[in-house]
């Protein structure tokens, strides 16, 4: 079983739509959780950290359920510029990041 | 935010040659750097953790004699792919950890190096 699992998509949504991505992780000792965004042929960029209490940054909301080992990302009012691959990232020991394969999002006009 | 550079951004080489990739933290001192590899439509996979002044720690399945890592200073780590073969063609990305950043697990990624071995 992979450490971090995501639905690869692609998710095709119209501009203005709300879209949600899910991620599960296998190591219950995992300590830190992030969502990264990766554009085609570019390096990943940190979108937001994920906290147990849930956190929001503008149109983006991230939630963590430790009991279910589940992380989510909600994007409201989708923009064309949100089109990218969203990577779920988990840290369980040291500082090394464990990446999911990513969920592809395409926002259409 | 912090900046990490990589050089070269892309390289094409013949099978059997060695390729060196540099990763630099430009405005902070990175005690730890990480090297990742990403094949098309795959996730980033950690290859090794590079600690300044000590030997790198390699992930299972990564040949340390093939992927040589040197972290001689707090701002530079190098990855040398020795005797490269076509199956080594990939996107190599480094990241650097800023120990003074708000969160100890904050990492900054370089722009990546696309290696193509003919």
Per-residue pLDDT 10s for chain A (109 aa) are 678 999 888 999 999 999 999 999 999 888 889 999 999 889 999 999 998 888 999 999 999 999 999 999 999 999 999 999 999 999 877 778 899 999 999 999 9
| Residue found under tokens 């089109």 | A83
CB of A34 closer than 8 Å to CB of A95: no
Q: Cβ separation of A101 and B42 shorter than 8 Å? A: yes
CB of A102 closer than 8 Å to CB of A86: yes
Q: What is the mean pLDDT of each run of 10 residues along chain B (118 residues)?
A: 89 96 92 92 90 89 94 92 96 88 74 96
- Nearest-CA residue of chain A relative to B94? A43
C-alpha distances in Å from residue B1, one per residue of A17, A77, A84, A85: 30, 26, 21, 22
Helix (H) or strand (E) holding B94: strand B90-97
Number of neighbours of residue B5 by Cβ within 10 angstroms: 15
> Of the candidates A43, A94, A102, which has its C-beta nearest B112's C-beta?
A43
Structural tokens at position B84: 């490269």
Structural tokens at position B113: 């190096």
C-alpha distances in Å from residue B18, one per residue of A30, B21, B28, B44: 37, 10, 29, 22
Q: Cβ separation of B32 and A95 shorter than 8 Å? A: yes
Give chain B positions within 8 Å (CB) of A45.
109
Greatest Cα pair distance, chain A, in angstroms, is 42
A/B interface, count of CB pairs below 8 Å: 49
- Nearest-CA residue of chain A relative to B35? A96
Give chain B positions within 8 Å (CB) of A32.
103, 105
Partners of B49 in beta bridges: B34, B57
């Amino acid at each position: 079983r992979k450490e971090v699992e995501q639905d690869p998509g692609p998710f095709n949504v119209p501009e203005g739509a709300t879209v949600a991505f899910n991620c599960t992780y296998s190591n219950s000792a995992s300590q830190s959780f992030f969502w990264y965004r990766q554009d085609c042929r570019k390096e990943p960029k940190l979108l937001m950290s994920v906290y147990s209490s849930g956190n929001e940054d503008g149109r983006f909301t991230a939630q963590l359920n430790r009991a279910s080992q589940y992380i989510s990302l909600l994007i409201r009012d989708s923009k064309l510029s949100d089109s990218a691959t969203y990577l779920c990232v988990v840290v369980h020991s040291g500082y090394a990041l464990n990446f999911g394969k990513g969920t592809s999002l395409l926002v259409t006009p | 935010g912090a900046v990490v550079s990589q050089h070269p951004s892309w390289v094409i080489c013949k099978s059997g040659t060695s390729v060196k990739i540099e990763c630099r933290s430009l405005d902070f001192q990175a005690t730890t750097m990480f090297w990742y590899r990403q094949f098309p439509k795959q996730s980033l996979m950690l290859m090794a953790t590079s600690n300044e002044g000590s030997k790198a720690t390699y992930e299972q399945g990564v040949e340390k004699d093939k992927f040589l890592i040197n972290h001689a200073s707090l701002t530079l780590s190098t990855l040398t792919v020795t005797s490269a073969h076509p199956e080594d063609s990939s996107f190599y990305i480094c990241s650097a950890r800023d120990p003074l950043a708000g969160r100890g697990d904050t990492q900054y990624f370089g722009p990546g190096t696309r290696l193509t071995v003919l």
